[in-house]
Amino acid sequence: MMNKDVLNTSIEFLKGVGPNRAKLIKNELKISKFKDLLFHFPFRYIDKTKYHKISEINFNSSEIQLIGKITELKELGVGSKKRLSASFSDNTGSIQLVWFKTSKWIIDSIKLNQTYIVFGKINNYNNNISIAHPELEIYSKENIKNRTNLFAVYPSTENLNKRGITNKVFSKLVEELLISINTDIKENLPKYILDKYNLIGRRQSLISIHKPRTSDDLKKAINRLKFEEIFYLQIRLIKKNITRKDKIKGYVFNQIGDKFEEFYNNHLKFKLTNAQKRVIKEIRNDLGSGAQMNRLLQGDVGSGKTIVAFMAALIAIGNGFQTCIMTPTEILSYQHYNKFYEICNLLNINIKILTGSRKASNKKDIKESLKKGEIDLLIGTHALIYDSVEFSNLGLAIIDEQHKFGVAQRSKLWHKNSLPPHILIMTATPIPRTLAMSAYGDLDMSIIDELPPGRKHINTFHQTSKDRLKLIDFLKAEIKKGRQAYVVYPLIKESEKLDFKDLLDGYESFSRDFPMPKYQISIVHGKMNNEDKEYEMQRFIENKTQILVSTTVIEVGVDIPNASVMIIESAERFGLSQLHQLRGRVGRGNHKSYCFLITGNKKTKESKIRMETMVKTNNGFIIAEKDLEIRGPGNIMGTQQSGEMPLKVTSLIGDSRLIQKIRKLVERIIQKDPKLKNINNAIILENLKNMIDKKDIWEYIS
Ligand code: ADP
Ligand code: MG
């Protein structure tokens, strides 16, 4: 067998495996080749140099190790209840060892009055302490010496255990593996990197992670493996970004255009923040570069992303191209449409709206004139990416408040033209830096890290229903000052009916506390038809109603600067970024704003953390970090579609410093040696080539 193929050998051929076990292991753990087993890392280590006395065992013990003798062995029960029971004693007491499937093999191998080392989990059945399916090893000097304080425990399954592949057996297989591939593990990082960052060799690290001798060994091994994992992830992301720019041509918008100029000089109602200016410049550069833009714009709620989007659209339109803006909700589509309508008329831009609930005849008209190129700016929901929607020359697609648009949906836009349109994605919530760098590492990133002037901290309070009277008084005072308030109820699919009742009850209760005609209250929820929703929203926008009771249909994007109070009912049922988004509906103008999180008295530990975090900070980036910490990367917006992160040893949270350090290193390498032609980087190039045919999840994030 040629050396380089050893790692691709089927585990069937590993000593101790064979076809049956190979099939089982493949089914249970998706391990089929030597290299899969090599990279199936332990998830923890146990100390096998510690021994207990039987008298020390109590109900709280978990895994223990004993030295003693088996004094009696008997088969109990009949049929499926049949089991083998052994009395095991040391000089302090005795305990039962139990095997639920008795086999002749076990009975024959156990010797009475032989001293054994026993290891296993304590079972507590009817106050009888026992160990089921213990590991048994004959006590000898040699065996004692071989025991380590870092004995690997592998992720496994119930079924594997049942069918005899216990952790001990598994460890033996790994041991065999390490012997047979000893010389086949090749280094994949250049020597200068190993030296500079004080990393151990690859072979040693892979041996040590399975069989560490000391905790220091283990630390070095993990550190080295994290390094290689992050290094190759980052280098692929960065290289992909560069290739995309090389290969994917985009429309060239070579002028800023008269629409932009006219708007900027004569119609812009406020001064752009420096951050907004910087981001517009970044976009402008992309649009003129000849490559397709793929840019992610991050900014906290209320940082002013919309105007940036609009001005980007003006560049595209000024260059003779169509633009679309997609939003996650109809309410948001209408808001943009209503806001842009007047100015578009002034600038002689034909703007239209297309959402699912519009009349069929109206949709048909819009689609026809879109195809003819008569529409310059089309606003809409995901209805925009239906196959029947055809643009004449879509130059720029803007995706607002991204968190409901999947990767697959985004890429659908690509097929609407000969050249792909430029794409600008605006996130609903900031993404933690390390996550952004990994999950979106191949997109260019713009960040608005500055709020428009005059914004004040939103005071946030956590309350229970007993504070209600005070809250109502406070609300009345705010309304008296001319302000408005949102009251939001959760609406979660599983308990839709109950939630809906809560919403209506809440509406009634507020109607009693704020009686007509002095007060007006709007209600908006997902079950209303679009016209009614629009009507109610419009009344609130025009300050004809002072309180808007709603479900989360107003969660993202809604922008009504006069509103200063946000009340979130059953706040414990919302996630952190959702709470932050909802709170972001207030504090959008110059008025001092408030957010009240109302919860029941009983809360989980997690929801307590959420409330505390909200009360403590207004900063979306900090909140996003916390959210990542609580929920893990798999649940954070935008990454659901990307499946599991292919990271085995790296933690996006715990290793954020390391990720940043390696990202910088990779950037430096690529900058100096873009094609990796330098002899010192040959090893990187070779490894990258090997990775290319491996289609992985990063391929379709674009
Ligand atoms: P988001 O980033 O959450 O989408 P918006 O674009 O809706 O935020 O902007 C929030 C509010 O701030 C809007 O009312 C908008 O008109 C206003 N705004 C945006 N930029 C500025 C600015 N530079 N100066 C003053 N107000 C601004
Ligand atoms: Mg917005």
pLDDT in tens, 543-587: 999 999 999 888 888 999 999 999 999 999 998 988 999 999 999
Pocket test for ligand 1, best of 279, 303, 403, 581 (most atoms within 8 A of CB): 303
- Identify whether the C-beta of residue 351 lies closer than 8 Å to the C-beta of residue 379: yes
Low-confidence ranges of the chain (pLDDT < 50): 1-2, 404-406, 635-645, 693-702
Given the DSSP bridges, would you call strands 484-488 and 151-153 parallel, antiparallel or unpaired?
unpaired
Minimum CA distance residue for ligand 1 atom 22? 452
Query: Ligand 1: which atom is nearest the Cα of residue 271?
Result: 23
Pocket test for ligand 1, best of 311, 559, 621 (most atoms within 8 A of CB): 559
Q: What is the pLDDT of residue 492?
A: 66
Q: Is 318 in the pocket of ligand 1 (CB under 6 A)?
A: no
Return the bridge partners of 75, or none: 84
Taking the centre of ligand 2 as the mean of its atom positions, its distance from the CA of residue 442, in whole angstroms, is: 23
Query: Residue 3: exposed, middle, or buried by beta-carbon count in 10 A (0-12, 13-18, 19+)?
Result: exposed
Q: What is the pLDDT of residue 430?
A: 79
Query: Ligand 1: which atom is nearest the Cα of residue 307?
Result: 6
Query: Ligand 1: which atom is nearest the Cα of residue 400?
Result: 4
Long-range (24+ apart) CB contacts under 8 A made by 677-685 are 680/190, 680/191, 680/192, 681/190, 683/187, 683/188, 683/189, 683/190, 684/188, 684/189, 684/190, 684/235
Minimum CA distance residue for ligand 1 atom 20? 304
Ligand nearest to the CA of 581: 1
Taking the centre of ligand 2 as the mean of its atom positions, its distance from the CA of residue 556, in whole angstroms, is: 7
Q: Is 432 in the pocket of ligand 1 (CB under 6 A)?
A: no
Alpha helices in 202-359 (DSSP H): 202-210, 215-247, 258-266, 274-288, 305-318, 330-346
Taking the centre of ligand 1 as the mean of its atom positions, its distance from the CA of residue 589, in whole angstroms, is: 8
Q: Which tokens is 392 given?
A: 């004449």
Return the bridge partners of 120, or none: 64
Pocket test for ligand 1, best of 263, 274, 276, 307 (most atoms within 8 A of CB): 307
Taking the centre of ligand 2 as the mean of its atom positions, its distance from the CA of residue 340, in whole angstroms, is: 14
Q: Is 401 in the pocket of ligand 1 (CB under 6 A)?
A: no
Ligand nearest to the CA of 327: 2
Q: What is the mean pLDDT of the chain?
A: 87
Q: Is 455 in the pocket of ligand 1 (CB under 6 A)?
A: no
Pocket test for ligand 1, best of 269, 303, 306 (most atoms within 8 A of CB): 306
Q: What is the pLDDT of residue 608?
A: 92
Q: Is 13 in the pocket of ligand 1 (CB under 6 A)?
A: no
Q: Is 569 in the pocket of ligand 1 (CB under 6 A)?
A: no
Minimum CA distance residue for ligand 1 atom 27? 452
3-state helix, strand, coil split of the chain in percent (to 5) is 45, 20, 35
Tokens 């087993």 locate to 37
Query: Ligand 1: which atom is nearest the Cα of residue 303?
Result: 2
Minimum CA distance residue for ligand 1 atom 9? 304
Q: Is 427 in the pocket of ligand 1 (CB under 6 A)?
A: no
Q: Rounded to an integer, what distance in angstroms lies between the CA atom of residue 540 and that of residue 585? A: 13
Q: Rounded to an integer, what distance in angstroms lies between the CA atom of residue 331 and that of residue 553? A: 8
Q: What is the pLDDT of residue 641?
A: 33
Taking the centre of ligand 2 as the mean of its atom positions, its distance from the CA of residue 620, in whole angstroms, is: 14
Minimum CA distance residue for ligand 1 atom 15? 304
442: number of Cβ within 10 Å: 19
Q: What is the pLDDT of residue 699?
A: 37
Query: Ligand 1: which atom is nearest the Cα of residue 588?
Result: 11
Domains annotated on the chain, with CATH: 1-49+151-184 (no CATH), 54-146 (2.40.50.140), 187-247+638-672 (no CATH), 258-448 (3.40.50.300), 458-632 (3.40.50.300)
Pocket test for ligand 1, best of 263, 268, 270 (most atoms within 8 A of CB): 270
Helix crossing, 620-631 with 576-583: angle to 10°? 160
Minimum CA distance residue for ligand 1 atom 12? 304
Q: Give residues whose Cβ lies within 5 Å of ion ligand 2.
A: 557
How far, in Å, are 132, 597, 645, 658 from residue 651 at the CA level?
A: 34, 31, 10, 10
Ligand nearest to the CA of 588: 1
Minimum CA distance residue for ligand 1 atom 5? 304
Query: Residue 24: exposed, middle, or buried by beta-carbon count in 10 A (0-12, 13-18, 19+)?
Result: middle
Q: Rounded to an integer, what distance in angstroms lies between the CA atom of residue 451 and that of residue 458? A: 13
Q: What is the pLDDT of residue 697?
A: 34
Query: Residue 609: exposed, middle, or buried by beta-carbon count in 10 A (0-12, 13-18, 19+)?
Result: middle
Query: Ligand 1: which atom is nearest the Cα of residue 276?
Result: 23
Which are the contacts of 249, defined by CB distance < 8 A and separation ≥ 6?
290, 291, 292, 419
Tokens 């909802």 locate to 582
Minimum CA distance residue for ligand 1 atom 10? 302
Q: Rounded to an integer, what distance in angstroms lies between the CA atom of residue 335 and that of residue 337? A: 5
623: enclosing H helix or E strand: helix 620-631
Q: Is 522 in the pocket of ligand 1 (CB under 6 A)?
A: no
| Count of positions (residues) in the chain | 702
Q: What is the pLDDT of residue 346?
A: 96
Return the bridge partners of 566, or none: 486, 595
> How is 395-436 classified by DSSP, letter by letter?
EEEEE-SGGG--HHHHHHGGGGSSSPPEEEEE-SS---HHHH
| Three-class SS state of 60 | coil
Taking the centre of ligand 2 as the mean of its atom positions, its distance from the CA of residue 407, in whole angstroms, is: 20
Ligand nearest to the CA of 300: 1
